[in-house]
Structure 1
Amino acid sequence: MKLKTTIKNLAILVVMIMSSNAFAQDGFQGQAIYMSKTTVDMDSFGGREMSPERKKSIMERMKSMLEKTFILDFNKTESMYKEDEALEAPSGGRGGFNMGGMSAGTVYKNVKDNQLLQDQEFFGKQFLIKDSLVKLDWKMTGESKQIGKYTCFKATATKKVDAADWTNMRRRGGDRGKKEADKKETAEVKSDSTKADVPKDPFEDIEIPKEVEVVAWYTMDIPVSAGPGEYWGLPGLILEVNSGRTTILCTKIVMNPSDKNEIKKPTKGKEVTMEAYQDIVKKKMEEMREMFRSRGGRGGGRRN
């Protein structure tokens, strides 16, 4: 068993050395196209009461938010990740339909200087998140698979979920919590029929988990410590990420393209750290919840 492990590690080392030599030239740059898709469990948020047509209509409207195409330009130490502007809806603005007034811009990473810069719009305000890179504690599994023509290896990690990560919102207690909440709501309506006219606080049964498991597949055929969005820190380009309800998959790679995009740092917006930005999001979410409560759950106040 130990001999097989040693042979496998030596083989990986040889691949890394050969690949590193191939990409050592100055001016090296690559481009990767990623498709990002997030699934939503409509039944967990009142969808069971909707007709199939209503569900379909809502999912179509959310499609621009749940399915996106991104471009990653990278060299040996830097990368720039942003949404493909050519595919945006004409009337959707820079980020199309976005969740809670959040519109993500460019994510710039520099692994040599350990620097993260992220252009972020939030409720009409422009922020420039400036912080150190957060490296996940990756665990190598030894598993491999093919993604296109590239041999990829599997790595897993546990990631802390921030307040701005709406993609991981879920009903408290999962399926069990959903059933208990439905029973409680039915009992309350039966005991007091007037409650049927009072909208329920949509935030009451929703939670964001503190942590989520991340599964990444990287290729040492392209030995750069880069990947989509916040992901990096592996001995090769990350081609696939599965995190919570979101899957990010690389669909195309162009090495040393003739028409290179300049990898540049975002500069616009109020400078904040990642922690400070997350605090701003938390406060805004609580403010929205209080507004909902004070208006009785209706945006325009109660109706007589």
Structure 2
Amino acid sequence: MNKHLLPLLLLCLTLLPIELCSQSRSAIIKYQGVINEKYVDSFVKALEADKDMSMHSKQRVTNFYRSAKPEEFYLHIQNHESYYFTDFSLKVEGEHNVGSLASNDYYYTNSKASTVIMQNETLGNVLFMPEKHWEITDEVKMIGDYRCVQAIPVYKRYNAMTDSYYYKKGAKVWFTPDIPLSFGPAQYKGLPGLILQIEHRRYTLTAIHIDLNPDEADLKINRVDENERIISFQEMINRQKEMRKNRY
């Protein structure tokens, strides 16, 4: 063997286990969802201006929003898959809690296939692939012990009235490059680091516990069975339109 190639070969053999380990990563992240006070204030203000609703109903709904309790969500990551879900066991039977207004749907993500499947109780399995790209900003802040960078999703939307496309910015998202896992809550993914916070207009979702070395037995990845029907994102929108028509 060429003596000049030997050091390179040894270096490759040394790095190989590191690369294999980097492909086998798992984590369990616990998030807390809280409704934003500014949103509650604007909601109550609009409610008070509603002339068709009785004062009693207004007060009742206002109390629900003012007394909303935080919710807990979990993100389980194993290799190239993740599963995001809420903890319904914390809900008290008979108690009405507005919660955080964050989505209570389940989300299965497969980064190898570049797909996100939303598991909705009414609509079933939805292939959640709205076209978007990320704008990574210069804004940084600490969330717990992690330095986080702000990113904003930009979605491509179609306007049927003008027969044209436009772009709409979404919630502020904070991810940490210190944890190189390209996952996050719900449909949010694809950034160079784990998403620790989402600042939505209605709610704020923040990671409050991160386990980067979980027991394999504790990991829950709920995959969609091959025989289960999966509808497209556009089909979901069409179904929702029909449901609204039938409601009114």
Instruction: Confirm or deny a common fold (TM above 0.5).
Output: yes
Question: Are residue 279 (structure 1) and residue 221 (structure 2) matched?
Answer: no
Shift of 1:51: 9.5
Cα distance in 2, alignment partners of residues 116 and 63 from structure 1? 33
Q: Paired residue for 2:137, among 141, 152, 155?
A: 141
Cα distance in 1, alignment partners of residues 60 and 133 from structure 2? 40
Q: Paired residue for 1:82, among 76, 85, 103?
A: 85
Q: Is the 8 A contact 1:105 1:120 kept in 2?
A: yes
Gaps of 5+ in 1: 1-20, 163-209, 290-304
Identity %: 24
Pair 1:281–1:261, CA change in 2 (3 A): same
Which residue is 2:43 aligned to?
42
Q: How does 1:283-302 map to 2 (within 5 A)?
A: 283-289=242-248
Per-residue CA distance 1:201-241 (angstroms, 9 max, x = gap)? xxxxxxxxx94432111001110110011111100001111
Q: How does 1:214-225 map to 2 (within 5 A)?
A: 214-225=171-182
Q: Is the 8 A contact 2:105 2:121 kept in 1?
A: yes
Q: How does 1:116-265 map to 2 (within 5 A)?
A: 116-122=116-122, 127-129=124-126, 131=127, 133-134=129-130, 136-159=132-155, 211-258=168-215, 259-265=217-223
Cα distance in 2, alignment partners of residues 216 and 23 from structure 1? 29
Per-residue CA distance 1:16-36 (angstroms, 9 max, x = gap)? xxxxx6993464310111122
Q: How does 1:66-77 map to 2 (within 5 A)?
A: 67-77=70-80
Shift of 1:67: 4.3
- Residue 240 of structure 2 aligns to a residue in which SS? helix
Which residue is 2:30 aligned to?
33
Cα distance in 2, alignment partners of residues 80 and 152 from structure 1? 22
Gaps of 5+ in 2: 1-17, 159-166
Shift of 1:110: 0.7
Cα distance in 2, alignment partners of residues 148 and 58 from structure 1? 34
Cα distance in 2, alignment partners of residues 278 and 66 from structure 1? 30
Normalised by the length of structure 2, the TM-score is 0.70
Pair 1:75–1:278, CA change in 2 (3 A): same
Q: Is the 8 A contact 1:119 1:269 kept in 2?
A: no
CA RMSD of aligned residues (A): 3.6
- Residue 171 of structure 2 aligns to a residue in which SS? strand
Which residue is 2:8 aligned to?
none
Cα distance in 2, alignment partners of residues 160 and 63 from structure 1? 34
Q: Of Structure 1 and Structure 2, which has the larger fraction of its residues in helix?
A: 1
Cα distance in 2, alignment partners of residues 85 and 117 from structure 1? 20
After the TM superposition, which of the residue ranges 275-284 and 41-50 deviates more from structure 2? 41-50
Pair 1:219–1:53, CA change in 2 (3 A): farther
Per-residue CA distance 1:153-182 (angstroms, 9 max, x = gap)? 1112333689xxxxxxxxxxxxxxxxxxxx
Normalised by the length of structure 1, the TM-score is 0.58
Cα distance in 1, alignment partners of residues 141 and 31 from structure 2? 18
Letter of the aligned partner of 2:149 in structure 1? F
Shift of 1:105: 3.4
Shift of 1:71: 0.4
Question: Are residue 113 (structure 1) and residue 113 (structure 2) matched?
Answer: yes
Cα distance in 2, alignment partners of residues 66 and 161 from structure 1? 33
Question: Are residue 24 (structure 1) and residue 21 (structure 2) matched?
Answer: yes
Q: When the two structures are aligned, how many residues end up with a matched partner?
A: 212
Per-residue CA distance 1:55-87 (angstroms, 9 max, x = gap)? 563245458988432100013421100011221
Which residue is 1:15 aligned to?
none
- Residue 209 of structure 2 aligns to a residue in which SS? strand
Cα distance in 2, alignment partners of residues 212 and 33 from structure 1? 26
Q: Is the 8 A contact 1:136 1:233 kept in 2?
A: no
Which residue is 2:12 aligned to?
none
